[in-house]
Amino acid sequence: MPIIPDYDLQAHNTLAIAATAKYFVEVHDNDELAAALSFANKGKLPLLILGGGSNLVLADDFPGLAIQIKHSGIDVIEEDEEHVYLQVGAGENWHDLVCHCLNFHYWGLENLSLIPGNVGAAPIQNIGAYGVELKDVFLELQAMEVNSRVLVNFEKQACQFAYRDSVFKGRLRDRYVITQVTLKLKKSPEVQINYPALMQALSDRNASDITPQVVAKTVCEIRRSKLPDPAEIPNAGSFFKNPIVPDETFVNLQSRFPGIVGYPAGENKTKLAAGWLIDQAGLKGYTQGSVAVHTQQALVLTHTGEGDGRALIALADHIKSQVFDRYQVDLEMEPRIYP
């Protein structure tokens, strides 16, 4: 398990930002992880836990230890009449897992097709797309506490999942490394097609033709039509969360901006489509040197690969202030900024 000094992280983040970690190590199991955490602890080094690097912004060099989680394995640990319980190593690629489940007819992940990144990061922001969130298929996870190196299990309730949120982004931020996730998947297909873009794409199909495979394929097609492939155009997906506002605020905004897009978000709240707000503020395609607002989806910021994280954050700040001036709505960044 070599610990490499002065390691370039450009290939380890989908924004392709060149930044150096003081140290870098790959860990394949819990013993290696414990040894890496112990190294960081002795040297009082800050930690950067890395999956696929698709939801972070490297604003500068990282003055600590970057640990790439490589734990592998996809195992059925239990089955009953209706469900199969699948234990998955944190280093497995998320979309490969979705394809594996489609092949084995374990249902529930179809709408989450093609989300970049690894399984261990999925609970951090409770990944979601096309009407399904990780919490809908989640049973429990195993994580290592960074100071004691003790393994702890977290059941669903303890994870405090919410829209793009979990306890690991809040109270327990930086306290645990997720090593394994257990999912509870269905043996009989139950397709979820209420998300507007998905429903529309499937509108000319008979209900009986809409299998989980069809849903997965359609989700992939929709995603490819608007989201840039990080291998071709570096990006980190949505750069901002969709803001949740009181219904009253939404009604006021609607009177000023009749086309505004919002979805019910429970308890007299509406979730606004941040992409619409940015788009209608005239910022789609807006470019500042090496960084830009994506031309197909204004919620995605792109990078040529030649700039740096600070340029991206400057662009994000510009968008936030333009959106606030126009709608009096605050945008919150989705990816985490390091260091």
- 3-state secondary structure (DSSP) of residue 230: coil
Q: Please, which residues have CB within 8 angstroms of residue 141's CB and are 6 or more apart in sequence?
A: 123, 153, 154, 159, 178, 180, 181, 182
Q: Does 151 bind ligand EPU (CB under 6 A)?
A: no
Of residues 296-315, those binding ligand EPU (CB under 6 A): 297-299
Question: Any catalytic annotation for residue 334?
Answer: yes
Cα of 333 vs its chain's centroid, Å: 12
Name which of ligand FAD, ligand EPU, none residue 243 binds, using a CB cut-off of 5 to 8 Å depending on partner kind: none
Nearer to ligand EPU, 180 or 242 (CB): 242
CB of 55 to ligand FAD, least distance (A): 3
Structure tokens, 217:
């394929």
Minimal CB distance residue for ligand EPU: 237
CB of 294 to ligand FAD, least distance (A): 10
Distances (CA, A) of 213 to 81, 133, 185: 22, 18, 15
Peptide bond preceding 243: is omega within 30 degrees of 0, i.e. cis? no
CB of 226 to ligand EPU, least distance (A): 6
CB of 56 to ligand FAD, least distance (A): 4
Question: Any catalytic annotation for residue 238?
Answer: yes
Tell me if 140 sits within 8 A of 155, measured CB to CB. Answer: yes
Q: How many CB atoms lie within 10 A of CB 235?
A: 26
Q: Does 197 bind ligand EPU (CB under 6 A)?
A: yes
Name which of ligand EPU, ligand FAD, none residue 197 binds, using a CB cut-off of 5 to 8 Å depending on partner kind: ligand EPU
Question: Any catalytic annotation for residue 171?
Answer: no
Q: Which of 54, 164, 166, 223 is catalytic?
A: 164
Name which of ligand EPU, ligand FAD, none residue 262 binds, using a CB cut-off of 5 to 8 Å depending on partner kind: none
Nearer to ligand FAD, 27 or 319 (CB): 27
Q: Does 216 bind ligand EPU (CB under 6 A)?
A: no
Q: How many CB atoms lie within 10 A of CB 225?
A: 11
Tell me if 230 sits within 8 A of 51, measured CB to CB. Answer: no
Q: Please, what sign has the CA dihedral across residues 225, 229, 235, 241?
A: positive
Q: Which residues bind ligand EPU (CB under 6 A)?
A: 129-130, 195, 197, 226, 237-238, 241-242, 261, 273, 275-276, 279, 284, 297-299, 334
Active site residues: 164, 238, 334
